[in-house]
Chain A
Amino acid sequence: MSIIKTENVCKSFGTVEVLKNINLTVEPGEVVVIIGPSGAGKSTYLRSLNRLEKNTSGKIWIDDILMEDRVNGKNLVKMNSKERAEILLEMGMVFQRFNLFPHKTALQNVMLAPMNVKGVSEKDARAKATELLERVGLGDKLDSYPSKLSGGQQQRVAIARALAMDPKIMLFDEPTSALDPELVGDVLNVMKQLAEDGMTMLVVTHEMGFAREVADRVIFMYDGVILEEGAPEEIFTNPKHERTRQFLQSVL
């Protein structure tokens, strides 16, 4: 019983191989932190899980359902689009640059998908969005437009927006990299809380403190492959690979 499983996932952009046979299994409730230098393929891997990127080859299971079995870019899994969309909804995603909808208030950002994708009534969507925004510490910013919020606040709205769809899995792609240092803590605290509540999380980050404290497992990616993985203590104190050691030295 795994919640995410990928087998030999490969991705090329033209002739450039960005992912080379990525094999990973994530258990429900696990927090996996992915680290690695720029260009390692971390974002591409996360994006391939929720189909923002289409793999060249390999298999992906979500909740033990085979979603993709690609050969030469062609998906051999036949599934009707409604069913596929429903399974993809089990994953929420948080982006480095927040990507909030600037023409909508914080509340409207959070309400949009439940109302339009799940057909939730406006009243219920509002109640839930309010509760989520309160949970991320933004109960007083419900009617603010993103342009009036700090980066840290925007990112917390983005987290609330993803949570509003009741995902089982949250994908975070460098959620704090675009933030001023003093705003990072608030976002990490929200993520920590989420982890404690049992959310399955895949987090690409350079925040080693967070990885050490919250991760069940740390994965080091380099040049399109998973070079090393293990418990945070193991990776941070006793990296097996020279590349891992070099990378950790450069970021710690």
Chain B
Amino acid sequence: MMESINKIIGWMPALIQSTGVTLALSVTSVAAALVFAVFLALGKISRNAVISKICGGYIFFFRGTPLLMQLFFIYYTMPQLVPALNIQSRFFAAWLAFTLNVAAYLAEIIRAAIQSIDKGQMEAARALGLTRSQAMRLVIIPQAYRRMIPPICNEFVMVLKDTSLVSIIALTDLTYQTKIIASNKASALVYIPAMLIYLVITGVFTFIFNRLEKKLSIYE
């Protein structure tokens, strides 16, 4: 028992370092995806049919194919098709795949939240002389935004766990590091601290998000 604990403590520096990669990848890709997703969502509900179709098609594609394949595609296939698009950095390839993929999911969350706002809100705003974009900015989005917080937080927690997929392109995230230790040291024990680390991170974020949600629902 003592021996196992010592072993685990010995692995901790490497595990924690790779946790940094997992966190950096999740946070930066979700943040970038969020910005992209706002445009995709507004594009999809746009009255311009071409823009709406393009955004709808994008969302359909990235939600309709496995993330793992998208990752392979960006890292392996793209350089073959267009050599100029050869992405050397594993981190950047993973980041790009996650950003593009997560944006599609977030866009659907944002679109659903916007469309869940009562039609009467847009009508009241228009009847007061606000333009459509003013009404969106001042009336619809501020209300929709509170409704998006919980599903966006859910999505973030999912992404945090899904980043373990990147071990497949040998990016040293927490999962990949765990696997390396497990095979080098021939000890499956390492999965215990690794899973605990995931649990702590998702737990902390869930706690923060719950607080945020409570704070934002004051007017209801």
Which residues of A come within 8 Å of B, CB atoms?
A: 50, 52, 85, 88-89, 91-93, 95, 97, 99-103, 112-113, 116-118, 145, 147, 158, 161-162, 165
Contact = CB atoms under 8 A, between A and B. Distances in A.
Nearest to B126: A52
A116 B220 contact: no
B87 interface: no
B149 to A, nearest CB: 14
B116 interface: no
Contacts of A147: 219-220
A103 B127 CA distance: 18
Contacts of A102: 143, 219-220
B121 A101 contact: yes
A67 to B, nearest CB: 15
Contacts of A101: 121, 124-125, 139, 143
A95 B120 contact: yes
26 contacts: A52-B123, A52-B126, A85-B129, A85-B131, A88-B129, A91-B127, A92-B127, A97-B120, A99-B120, A99-B123, A101-B124, A101-B139, A102-B220, A103-B142, A112-B128, A112-B130, A112-B138, A113-B128, A113-B130, A116-B130, A116-B134, A117-B130, A145-B219, A147-B220, A161-B128, A162-B127
Q: Binding site of B, secondary structure by majority: helix, strand, loop or mixed?
A: helix
B3 interface: no
Counting from the closest, the 3 A-B pairs by CB-CB distance are: A99-B124, A113-B128, A99-B120
Q: Counting chain A CB atoms within 10 Å of each CB, which of B124, B127, B128, B131 scores highest?
A: B127
B142 to A, nearest CB: 5
A149 to B, nearest CB: 12
Nearest to A117: B129
B130 A93 contact: no
A181 to B, nearest CB: 23
Given A116-B134, A116-B138, A99 B121 contact: yes
Given A99-B121, A102-B219, A50 B127 contact: yes
Nearest to A96: B120
B219 A89 contact: no
Nearest to B146: A103
B124 A95 contact: yes
B162 to A, nearest CB: 33
A85 B143 CA distance: 25
Contact of B118 (A99, A103, A145): A99
A205 B8 CA distance: 76
A89 B143 contact: no
Contact of B128 (A97, A103, A162): A162
Nearest to A50: B127
